[in-house]
Amino acid sequence: MKTFRSMADFANHLTALAAEAPAVTHHVAEKGAELIQKIAKSEIAHYQPAVGPFARWEELAAETEFDKIRKGYPVDAPLLRNGQMRDSIETTVIGNEAAVGSNDQKMVWHELGTLRIPPRAVLGPAAIRAGKDIQARFGRTVAAWLAGRSWRNPRLK
């Protein structure tokens, strides 16, 4: 535990914390977004169970699988054809806000479903699955930062 010899030392510590706060919050947002991105990319090509408000992924229709066979794509691998949609998942971090998403219109169709395609949400479930790890990292980072220790890759003592 950090101790202070005087109120002035404590005030200086608080001033240093305030100056460093934007870097700390940016770091936490960036690491959280990276984890969500990693999980989202890993979920493609694997049937997913229900999580939170998101339904489990339905089996691919036989005609979809036959089409994938004809075109040389992997079978029994939902949402995976050539990897382009998976690889389009990116992160953007500005300040302490992060976004994980894709500019591929097919991702929207699969995430929300269409009249002909059942929803196979990727991004929302990935955020839920990452939640506990993100919370733990946030807690470790803030605890290390407040204690005046290295917060970029904190470990609890």
- Residue type (1 letter), 120: R
Give how far Cα 53 sits from Cα of 24, 60, 124, Å. 31, 21, 9
- Domain ranges for the chain, please list them: 7-146
pLDDT reading at 31 higher than 80:
yes
The pLDDT tens digits of the residues spanning 65-115 come to 999 999 999 999 999 999 999 999 999 999 999 999 999 999 999 999 999
Calculated CA dihedral for residues 110, 114, 116, 120, nearest 10 degrees: 30
Give how far Cα 98 sits from Cα of 35, 82, 123, Å. 11, 27, 13
Looking only at Cα atoms, what is the longest distance across the chain?
Answer: 75
Indicate the pTM of the whole model: 0.90
pLDDT reading at 155 higher than 90:
no
